[in-house]
Structure 1
Amino acid sequence: MTKIYFRHDNYREEQNTLVKDIAKVLQENKTGLFEAPTGLGKTDAALATAISYTEKKTIFFVTPKTSQHKIALDVVKGLNRKYSLDLKAVNILGKQKMCSEIPLMNNARGFYEFCESKIRSNNCPAYKNFKNKSYNKNIFLENELSAEDILEFGIGNKVCPYELAIELSKKANIIICDYNYLFNSKIREAFFQKTGKELGDSIIIVDEAHNLADRIRSNSFYVLNKKMILQAIKEADSIDNKEFWELSDKLRKVSELFKEKYKDKEFLVDKDLFKDILLKFEELPDLETEHLKEIAKKTKSGELILPYVYSFFSNWFENHKSIIRFFKTENKKDYNLVLKYLDPSFVTKTVFENANSAILMSGTLSPFKMYVDVLGLPKDTLCFKYNSPFPKENKLVMYDDSFSTKYELRNSHDLEEISSKIATIINNISGNVAVFLPSHRQASEFYNSLTRKTAKKIYLQDKNAQKSKKIVEDFKKSRGLGSVLVGVLGGSFSEGLDFPGEELVGVFILGIPFPEPTLEIKELIKYYDERFANGWNYGYTYPTISKVVQATGRVIRTYTDRGFVVLIDQRYTWKKYSNLLPDDLRPNTLMSSKLIESFFNN
């Protein structure tokens, strides 16, 4: 076996086996699914093995969590220092997040189109400085560069950080990035063309792989509403061209579709919705750079909507079987026309079939067959599952069946009763505790109830990412006497964060986070029923239970950690759900304050 560069002195239990299995996948140029519990050291194992087996290949470490970007970069730093290697690692974020032009960076929809228009019109100083190489070249001497390093350098040198990151990526051995760089076809093709990288010469490591399908779906949609159409009409009218005036007339007819008072909150529409207005995308006049410059000059608008409308119609006329098209009522008078791709494999299959090797890892990848099917993985994909390296006696698992978040069973009295039970426990132990619920609304309700029952500081997850980051930092600092973190299952607090020692000694899971059975969810279930005869599980049950398992994994992060998990919902005692949980999470002990106190005292 090839010598493995490993930054630590020893492997954790089972980590050595993980390394050998990853090596097998790389040697055979295959795809591998690796379900390894939290704390096993997946990132270290995957990067160390990939680096040790890499010869003139690029390693892509892709993850949706920015916290994992730092951990991956730290692994490379450790290997470079320990073995005097000369590995080049670059961390790159999305183009908008790496933009140094603040007004441009803050634009939402239309950012990419407007960015391109500024470049084409030679109106972006940072981009011009990059093309003219008007900056200090010492940055190319660095071995490990975070996105923050590159952004800070770009702002200081008045050069485009994004283009600089692309340039640095050309000679990088390891590229640490978001999913979109590989699993958005347009972004991937542009990135590989600029950097000279090829899928066939790439080893892909997908972290938090259980999130990949949902992440692709959440990014694979287009929305059109009346306000956007009216803005697009103004922009088309501002172009001194007969074809665009005719386009304005067509868009006015499209806007008429939004005037009708629909009774249903959501309902499907056919692809031929615009048949009396527009039969195919090719009927639209070509939108050139000079047209965008003319719009920007006449409308004095920073954020152009017409390019986005073009993208909407380009996708609308696609024949992909997994596309759903529907009207969605935002309030009593506003309607969104939504187009969404349900099947992520139309993107992922190409990537995994053409990559040299791929490692997909997570603490929750059961059942393996679902991920092979949903992501379109090769039929010879290798699958591996590992036990926790930590002592079983360090984790206490309990249940409480007196409460349920199931809609027809929910009431305020039950919430008050369960918050009282939880308050009794947290008031009698030290160390930090987390409580996770299915939604922000339910988390807020519980937070309000709990504040009346404990003197401990309670932190509520915020929808704003920056505020949430500060909340986590403050929460970690309050270990010892302890505080309470109230968050959402499937959210940033319940996945991908480390809380070793007294930073987290216990987790309460209130309810099962089944999503609301929206039209989209129903269509997803229907689609996977037609493809795999397993729609309910693939589209609803399995992804939901995965969120629960991920949240429970926040408790035990090191060999010496001790903590408890309480699953609170009568449905956790039902076999059809308890059988989906890992063996060490199937509760058979009723929640007890005295039992928890005894657990920590022994």
Structure 2
Amino acid sequence: MNIRISVRSLVEFIFRSGDISDSSSGALPVEAMNAGSRIHRKLQKRAGSYYASEVPLKITSECGGHVITVEGRADGIIDRRGTAREADGIAADKGGEQPDENKIQIAPAVHEPDVLAENEDEGHVMDMVRGYEVNFGESDVMIDEIKGVYRNLDDVEEPLRVHVAQAMCYAYIYAREKQYDDIDVRISYVNLDSEKEKFFRRNYRFGYLEEWFASMTGKLAIWLDMVEKHICLRDESIVDMEFPFEYRKGQKEMALYVYKAIEKKGNLYVQAPTGIGKTMAAVYPTIKSFVQGDVSKLFYLTAKTIAHTVARGAIQKLMDRGLEFKTVILTAKEKICLQDEMDCNPALCPYANGHFDRVNEALYDLVSNESIIDREIVRRYAERYQVCPFELSLDASLFADAVIGDYNYVFDPRASLKRFFAGDGNTPGNYVFLVDEAHNLVDRASSMYSAHIIKEDFLELRKLTAQYGGRLTRYLSSCNRELLALKKNVPAEGYEVLPSIAGLHLKLLGLHDALDLFLEEHGQIPERKEVLNFYFNLTSFLNIAEIVDENYIMYDEILPDGRFMVKLYCVKPAANISACLDKGLTTVFFSATILPIRYYMEMLSDCPDDQAIYIRSPFAQENRRILIANDVTTRYTRRNDEQYGNIYSYIESVVSAKKGNYMVFFPSYAMLEHVQAFAGEMERLHHVKVIVQTPYMNEADREEFLNTFETENGVLAFCIMGGIFSEGIDLTGDKLVGAIVVGPGLPQVCTERKLMMDYFDARGGSAGVRGDSDGFRYAYQYPGINKVFQAAGRVIRTETDRGVILLLDERFNSRRYSELFPVEWNDYEICNRKNVAGLLEDFWKDKSKEN
């Protein structure tokens, strides 16, 4: 097989070693990376005229039947020898002696380690650094590898193995290109704060580098053999792979559109009803596209863990019919951790300690022998090899055909898979993103691309670290004073929109540098966990600050508990999401409730070339009845015992019309409790079992709650709209025969909803069904109506299901809401407390006749 790999990626994979650091998940803010770039430029500029910077180097070689192209940019190259050659050439043209092209003038003999032993392991790289000089010196030819660090350079006794290997790669490529018999390598460490420098330098014979490079690519070839063998088996199994069952109505249409979207490398939005098999309709054409070479990896992204099971089931069905496919199901770090308490400090975690010394052996074993790599599989291999299961699963994703996980692995700048998405974005990967339940992504993405800091956290950290004194205390105090000045301008119990945070931003950057140094110097202090938590949050804030644009609102606010917050609020995440989508070829957003679709397209990608399709429900409309009550309201200003009593009377009418299992969805726990107070006699009078969703239900509580529907008939469940039971659950047949939705699901009024409403009012949104630019739609109505659709969608799940949907609020009867309804809701009826019982009786009577 042919492969292109960067020098850095190659050496970091083959020569990685050591521990997982408890601070390794905190990515440097953009400003810190810029500081590293400035250091590079500074050293490169002062190195003199012989110094060539950012020199592109590439080599293509064959190893074990594989064609491997290794490429990268050397930070710097000094080549006086080449310059001298050019001068000699000019002299020869003028009658001077012509140099012998086959005889290379070399430096005096140098000391170097023994040639590689036949079976020497990766540890040999550290042997090569013995004898380094800690000075600049003079050299005819030298490769310079510059590394900006925050470490105290007095503690750096030798360069890291991967840094040496990276420089040796460049040295080999350059020496081979120039036909040099020897070459110097220098590792230049520069402290990003003090700009203090430390150099490690030595000379290598070309023959040694050649053997070393061949040994390294030979190790890579072992992995390539495994990958190539799997790809051949996979593609062969896909060629004749057929759809695993008979197409349902609408399913084939969706599959065809997905296939065409991949072919055209465009994005697709799909509104399709529950029950047609959306997951298989998305997965099947994507996998078929692997054979054409269009796709190399499928990312199935969800908002909830339960959806992972559905995606896994679809792939498993295809595997049961002969598909050869490797799938990794990613689990959150805290859930897959093998320790009782997650702490990535290598002094406390045996799996973090020496992880990189053992992980490649674990990874090869895992990927070679497993097809569906889930939480339990990963934990088993991690225990066997004493490595971190989370990091092992991320490594395994490199060798997977499909990766199933949460949205954040692609879209969240704090948690995205850097293995795939950390490049400059110029060359997208052959990835397809399948975004399930895409209606959830708007709020999730807004949260991912927002960040905040709390003034009181700075005071708390200063108090915790005061005993260590020094620079960190000074920076914490300086930032606190800046925050205090902002706080004085905020109205009591109010908020203020900020035109700029430039002064605060500058001080926070200084604090971040101080924290880097502090964490380096105080590795095992009792307060380390608290310092790290603060550090990660500050890093996130600084990274988000670098991408703030017209889609953001910066504001500060005095919170209800009296704390003071500064927030970077991403109102419209489309630009940030689009930058992620550009890392792949095609994204398919699909959901049963992605209406109005123009709103979601504007909020998630805002690209005029994106396509959208609406797939109608295949289920007979006569199997369900939709009723809208026009004599009840849930408006906040009109909530009282009379209205709660009206709501309860409707609930009584529904459960009295037919014995069965019902769900009632409320906009808040407060309203749920008010209506529940009327239901004291419900169980005795109507022979139903009342169960109630409560806050903070654990997994066992949820299972018990849902199991009631599986085992009993005559269940009335009081639930929260938009909560854990309003989407993602599948109660078919008689397990659920009715849903009562109380109110239009409007989000509670809060600072950010007000800001969002003002933002879209000022700009004039385009998603309104009548060209309405009303910010109220964006901030409240669209998010609310989606919760209504989700709750109502619990009822009809298959073509044989029958049930009723009752919408309780007069607003549903207004055109502002009814024009947002799905096409299939065109047969809704208006009811009131006087006629609802008759309408329900007629519906169930008709159904009993059919039976």
TM-score (norm 2): 0.63
What's 2:341 paired with?
103
The correspondence for 2:694, drawn from 462, 482, 497, is: 462
SS in 1 for 2:595: coil
8 Å CA contact retained: 2:545, 2:568: no
Match of 1:577 in 2: 817
The residue that corresponds to 2:749 in the other structure is: 517
Alignment check: 8 A CA contact 2:495 2:558 kept: no
Q: For 1:317-359, what per-residue CA distance to the aligned partner results, in whole angstroms no more than 9, with x for missing partners?
A: 5442333333444436444443322221232111223421111
Which residue of structure 1 lines up, in the alignment, with residue 205 of structure 2? none
Q: Is 1:418 matched with 2:625? A: no
Whether the aligned pair in 2 keeps the contact of 1:280 and 1:317 (CA below 8 Å) is no
Q: Which residue of structure 1 lines up, in the alignment, with residue 473 of structure 2?
A: 245
Is the 1:555–1:564 contact (alpha carbons within 8 Å) kept by the matching residues of 2? Answer: yes
Report the residue type matching 1:75 in the other structure. Answer: A
Shift of the 464–129 alpha-carbon distance from structure 1 to 2, 3 Å rule, reads farther
Asked if 1:126 corresponds to 2:351, the answer is yes
Q: Distance in 2 between matches of 1:68 and 1:313?
A: 30
Consecutive unaligned residues of structure 2, counting only runs of 5 or more, are 1-237, 766-772
8 Å contact kept, 2:453–2:541: no
**Is the contact between residue 472 and residue 515 of structure 2 (CA under 8 Å) also seen in structure 1?**
no
Task: Report deviation, 1:273.
Answer: 6.2
Using the alignment, how far apart are the partners of 1:188 and 1:516 within structure 2? 30
How does 1:467-486 map onto structure 2 within 5 Å? 467=699, 469-479=702-712, 481-486=713-718
Distance 1:68 1:358 in 2: 18
Distance across 2 between alignment mates of 1:460 and 1:152: 38
Letter in 1 for 2:350: P
1:8 aligned partner, one-letter code: P
The answer to whether the 8 Å contact 1:90/1:145 transfers is yes
Determine if contact 1:436/1:486 at 8 Å carries over to the other structure. Answer: yes
| Number of equivalent positions | 584
Decide whether the 8 Å contact of 1:258 with 1:335 is kept in 2: no
Task: Name which one, 1 or 2, has greater alpha-carbon Rg.
Answer: 2
What residue is the counterpart of 2:781 in the other structure?
541
2:829 — aligned with what?
Answer: 588
Equivalent residue for 2:259? 23
Residue 288 to residue 227, structure 1, CA distance change in 2 (3 Å): closer
Residue 217 of structure 2 corresponds to which residue in structure 1? none
Residues 1:485 and 1:149: Cα distance change in structure 2 (over 3 Å): farther
Alignment partner of 2:453 out of 211, 221, 224: 224
Match of 1:89 among 327, 336, 340: 327
Question: Unpaired segments of 5 or more residues in structure 1?
Answer: 106-114
Partner of 2:636: 407
**Residue 215 and residue 194 in structure 1: after superposition, are their counterparts in 2 closer, same or farther (change >3 A)?**
closer
Structure 2 counterparts to residues 9-48 of structure 1, below 5 A: 9-48=245-284
| Structure 1 pair 195–339 and aligned structure 2 pair: CA distance change class (3 A) | closer
User: Using a 3 Å threshold, how does the CA distance of structure 1 residues 559 and 3 change in structure 2: closer, same or farther?
Assistant: farther
Cα drift, residue 214 of structure 1: 1.0
Q: Quick check: 1:71 aligned with 2:310?
A: yes
The SS at the match of 1:286 is helix
Question: d(CA) in 1 for partners of 2:413 and 2:696?
Answer: 28
Aligned to 1:109: none
TM-score, structure 1 as length reference: 0.88
Asked if 2 retains the 8 angstrom alpha-carbon contact of 1:459 and 1:471, the reply is no
Match of 2:793 among 553, 556, 559: 553
Contact conserved, 1:90 with 1:144, CA < 8 A, in 2? Answer: yes
Match of 1:108 in 2: none
In the other structure, the counterpart of 1:110 is none
* Matched ranges for 1:84-483 at <5 A: 84-104=322-342, 115=344, 118=345, 123-128=348-353, 130-133=355-358, 138-140=365-367, 141-151=369-379, 154=382, 158-188=386-416, 190-192=418-420, 199-239=428-468, 241=470, 243-254=471-482, 256=484, 264-270=492-498, 272=500, 275=503, 279-284=506-511, 286-287=513-514, 291-292=518-519, 297-300=524-527, 302-304=529-531, 305-308=533-536, 310-311=538-539, 314=542, 317-318=545-546, 319-331=548-560, 333-455=562-684, 456-464=688-696, 466-467=698-699, 469-479=702-712, 481-483=713-715
Counterparts in 2 of 1:523 and 1:554: CA distance versus 1, 3 Å: same
Matched with 1:52 is 288
Cα 1:440–1:146 change in 2 (3 A) is farther
8 Å CA contact 2:244, 2:318 repeated in 1: no
- SS at structure 2 position matched to 1:44: helix
Query: CA 1:14–1:524 in 2, change beyond 3 Å: closer, same or farther?
Result: same
Q: Residues 296, 336 of structure 1: CA spacing in aligned structure 2 closer, same or farther, 3 A cutoff? A: farther
Instruction: State whether residues 459 and 476 of structure 2, in contact with CA within 8 Å, keep that contact through their aligned partners in structure 1.
Output: no
Cα distance, 1:259–1:196 mapped onto 2, change above 3 Å:
closer
3-state DSSP of counterpart to 1:564:
strand
Q: Say which structure, 1 or 2, has more relative contact order (CA 8 Å, 6+ apart).
A: 1
Question: Greater shift after overlay, 215-224 or 287-296?
Answer: 287-296
Moved more, 540-549 or 245-254: 245-254
CA distance in 2, matches of 1:285, 1:542: 39
Cα separation, partners in 2 of 1:352 and 1:251, compared to 1, 3 Å: closer
Distance 1:217 1:271, change over 3 A: same
Q: Aligned partners of 2:537, 2:365: CA distance in 1, in Å?
A: 42
**Deviations, residues 93-146 of structure 1 (Å, cap 9, x unaligned):** 3333333333227xxxxxxxxx4xx25xx6531123642327866543121122
Which secondary structure does the structure 2 equivalent of 1:214 belong to? helix
The answer to whether the Cα contact below 8 Å between 1:5 and 1:51 also exists between their aligned partners in 2 is no
Cα gap change, 1:303 to 1:332, in 2 (>3 Å): closer
In the alignment, is residue 598 of structure 1 matched against residue 836 of structure 2? no
Give the one of 526, 529, 551 matched to 2:758: 526
- Conserved in 2, the CA contact under 8 Å of 1:202 and 1:356? yes
Aligned AA (2:693): Q
- Partners of 1:548 and 1:225 lie apart in 2 by 35
Name the structure 1 match of 2:157.
none
